[in-house]
Amino acid sequence: MCRLHAADSSRADSLLLKLDQAIKERPIYMEQKELKLVELKRQLHRQIPDEERFAILGTLLDEYRSFNTDSALHMAEEREQIAIRLGNREYIDNARMNKADVLGMTGMYKEVMDLMRNIRHMDIWMRMVNTQDLTWNWHRLCVIWKVGSWRKNQSTGIPRIWN
């Protein structure tokens, strides 16, 4: 039993050393993140079609999501405006789910529910069935299910956003 405890302790010490090293290297990680963000923002300043701008904003949103939620929300809102301007229903739904995802991370659940009510969920399911983009589909499914599972219909157990 003592040998097992010593092995666990040694493993924990090793992990703590790795964590300490990662914390020391934080400035390096921050610089790398900032350089990536600057490059993506630079791409936005070019004369590019709105579809490309929408995609770049999506990449920026992903970069900001775990780094700065205010900026992530701003990117989601810009994506929504572009999607509306383009009149592309799929882009609009995706941008609103991005926005719902960020708002959910900040605890603004009422706003998330309001946004999710304006998304055509059955259209999303049909697009999911007809596409091979599994990453995007997984994102959609997670946002829809996370939000829907907060308020289930008592008799059916189905998330209220579906019925």
pLDDT digits 0-9 by tens, 87-145: 998 899 889 989 999 998 888 888 888 888 777 665 665 555 555 555 555 565 666 55
The structure tokens listed for 9 are 């302790």
98 in Cβ contact with 79 (< 8 Å): yes
CA angle, 70 as apex, 151 and 137 as ends, to 5°?
50
CA 16 to chain centre: 29
pLDDT digits 0-9 by tens, 140-160: 566 655 555 444 455 555 444
Give residues with Cβ within 8 angstroms of 117, minimum separation 6. Answer: 161
Short-list 82, 47, 89, 46, CA closest to 61:
82
Average pLDDT over residues 10-26: 89
Q: Is the pTM of this model over 0.85?
A: no
pLDDT digits 0-9 by tens, 34-68: 999 999 999 999 999 999 999 999 999 999 998 89
